[in-house]
Structure 1
Amino acid sequence: MSSTDERRFEVLRAIVSDFVATQEPIGSKTLVDRHNLGVSSATIRNDMAALEAEGYITQPHTSSGRIPTDKGYRRFVDKIAEVKPLSVPERRAILGFLEGGVDLDDVLRRAVRLLAQLTRQVAVVQYPTLSASSVRHLEVVPLTPARLLLVVITDSGRVDQRIVELGDVIGEDDLGTLRDLLAGALEGKRLAAASIAVSELADDAPPELRNAVIRSATVLVETLVEHPEERLVLGGTSNLTRNVADFSLPGSLRSVLEALEEQVVVLKLLASTQDNGRVVVRIGEETQAEKMRGTSVISTGYGTADTIFGGMGVLGPTRMDYPGTIATVAAVARYVGEVIGER
């Protein structure tokens, strides 16, 4: 990059920084006064004219200063060499808060609350997708001699409980054998593979356990292949109302709120984030959703080193603190994955 290009990027960076902080168009005099750019105001004006001609900044009103365009934000984000990590106390506070969650639902609610508070944007977390989950443990609990409670626990923290009516009384020894058969077919397998394995158990089951195996397997298959509508946990929606001025087009804020309520658009954006540790920034029209115009979505996957459970991120106006938000989303996602993966 030439020295002129480097200087013009510094001018763009200064405009983005000031506009995010003040929400006011930035003029050349303001740049000279606030930033040590090392050139004259005339050079700054020439640089601003060049940036405007290239589509990185625009003049919202006659005789006003300049504001970044979506293209300008994209160039700024692409030039962020490295994300400033959170401090040790910040990381310790995040991990401690998440570890206080009593179950999967509580951990995700805490994650959303953290993201919304730290970024002052709308926070969204996708519940672990079933296709990515494996069966960690199966517990068989006798409720009566002819009724069992099956508890399926996945590696993403999901817990399903189902009752099986055996029809016949089962003894303690047979119960132990049944538990071993079912656990051997399920534990450590992805849900799809586990459902196939458990459905084939009856073929080789001992005659005296065949009925119990068939009834148990039927209930378990229904549990494993059942795909309820994917859910999102949302938090900080009220933060949008603090930034009403950022949604200047008629009906634009309402459209964003409708997209959040319907969840389909947001789920699609989060589902496309498949890499654990890589933060994706979509600015304005890059969301490819008409209702999301004027917004940016910063998202990443969360999970373990081997498995992505789902996506999480924040949504807000294109005028946002990108470096700080990227760092926060990355940190919270990392710790949510650790907390859920260790349970």
Structure 2
Amino acid sequence: MVTERGLQVLQAIVQDYVETREPVGSKRIVDRHAFGVSAATIRNDMALLEDEELIAAPHTSSGRVPTDKGYRVFVDHLAELRPLSPAQRSAITTFLDGSTDLDDVLTRTVRALTRLTGQVAIVQYPSFAQANVTHVELVDLGAARLLVILVTDTGRVSQRIVTLPVELDEVDVAQLRARVSVLITGHSVGDGAQAVGGLLAAIAGAAAPTRLDPALQTVLGLVSEELEEFRQDRLLMAGTANLARDEADFRGSIYPLLEAIEEQVTLLRLMSEMVADQEGLAASIGRENAPFGLAEASLVVGDYDAARARGRVGVLGPTRMDYPTNLAAVRAVAHYLSTLLEEDESGH
């Protein structure tokens, strides 16, 4: 059982080790932190922390470093997050204000977060599977080309040009528009994708295809791709070079992290399984990430809202990271991102 002072000693060890990358001894704790007790008493506290496997000796020196379990206890007992400075808050505002669309907002978000934390910044695109398609438009561009426009009630807009196998007149285009619109307008993206897939299968299996079927098939194929894009989880990242700077913090290789960043699927699974607290924050530390091949890394995330969808934003780095600052930065960025996307949704 860890005492209150034991937790304070653990906190001091974590803070000093994160700051210096050097094992922390009892003399340093007495010199730097106002415990009001002797070095011998601190050594006893450290022995108890070591018995609980919260700290460990990396070699024969008298200093100790936090274990993954120690970082977890430290994070779980954070009384409050260090507030961001006015300059840091101003940096978030400067980076995110003036963004033009969702892609731009999220690109600016990861750039801001990696600057604030010095870690790899990650943002998950909001999944719009439950969004409803509100409008479908087909614009004849001539030369057998159509501009296909899809709009959802979350403000997501897709515009793609498709080349048809045959040239169509105005009446044909209107018929195509009506066929596609009745299929997906007013329905969720997920239901719309299912309906489009059903009609494509029916056309492919038709014994006597109509004159417009080849063109309809081509348009529906593109619509299917766009609806799938709306549904798909994907990540945007910045600051990967920071891993090379922190390579000394990884006992093994940084390649598993680089592979996870490149593949995305692993990080998406990990982010989706993390359970957030009442402030929408979560941390997954060191060996807790072993099932995902990331046992030497920590991930800190926060939830943000985007109209009728939700996503996560966070930072990935070594277990020796500044958890209070990173959690505070993630919380601030997630909050600002939610506010920005809600304002866009309301038309302000």
Q: TM-score, normalised by structure 1?
A: 0.81
2:160 is aligned to 161
2:15 is aligned to 17
Aligned pairs for 1:175-324 within 5 A: 175=174, 186-187=184-185, 189-195=187-193, 219-225=222-228, 230-247=233-250, 249=251, 251-273=252-274, 278-289=280-291, 291-304=293-306, 306-308=308-310, 310-324=311-325
Q: In the superposition, relative to structure 1, how do residues 185 and 20 fare at CA in structure 2: closer, same or farther (>3 Å)? A: same
Q: Write the deviation string for residues 315-338 of structure 1: whole angstroms up to 9, x where unpaired.
A: 111111101101111222233344
Matched-pair contact (CA < 8 Å) for 2:281–2:331: yes
1:71 aligned partner, one-letter code: K
1:66 aligns with 2:64: yes
* Counterpart-to-counterpart distance in 2, 1:99 and 1:178: 40
Matched-pair contact (CA < 8 Å) for 2:91–2:112: no
Q: What's the CA shift for 1:288?
A: 2.9
* Counterpart-to-counterpart distance in 1, 2:34 and 2:328: 26
Q: TM-score, normalised by structure 2?
A: 0.80
* Counterpart-to-counterpart distance in 1, 2:59 and 2:157: 53
Matched-pair contact (CA < 8 Å) for 1:133–1:156: no
Aligned residues: 331
Matched-pair contact (CA < 8 Å) for 2:18–2:320: yes
Equivalent of 2:84, from 74, 83, 86? 86
Equivalent of 1:108, from 106, 109, 119? 106
Q: What's the CA shift for 1:252?
A: 2.2
Q: In the superposition, relative to structure 1, how do residues 161 and 115 fare at CA in structure 2: closer, same or farther (>3 Å)? A: same
SS at match of 2:170: coil
1:170 aligned partner, one-letter code: E
1:329 aligns with 2:327: no
Q: Write the deviation string for residues 2-25 of structure 1: whole angstroms up to 9, x where unpaired.
A: xx7111111111111111111111
SS at match of 2:169: coil
1:237 aligned partner, one-letter code: T
SS at match of 2:107: helix
1:126 is aligned to 124
Q: Write the deviation string for residues 63-117 of structure 1: whole angstroms up to 9, x where unpaired.
A: 3311111111000100113334435664454234223333333222211111111
Q: Write the deviation string for residues 143-178 of structure 1: whole angstroms up to 9, x where unpaired.
A: 249753221234374624243748542259x94x97
Q: In the superposition, relative to structure 1, how do residues 199 and 228 fare at CA in structure 2: closer, same or farther (>3 Å)? A: closer
**Identity, % of aligned pairs?**
45
Q: Unmatched 5+ residue regions in structure 1?
A: 202-209
- After superposition, the CA RMSD in angstroms is 3.6
Q: What's the CA shift for 1:134?
A: 3.9
1:284 aligned partner, one-letter code: G
Q: Write the deviation string for residues 202-241 of structure 1: whole angstroms up to 9, x where unpaired.
A: xxxxxxxx95995655653453246897543221111122
Q: What's the CA shift for 1:312?
A: 2.5
Q: Unmatched 5+ residue regions in structure 2?
A: 200-210
Matched-pair contact (CA < 8 Å) for 1:259–1:266: yes
1:150 aligned partner, one-letter code: V
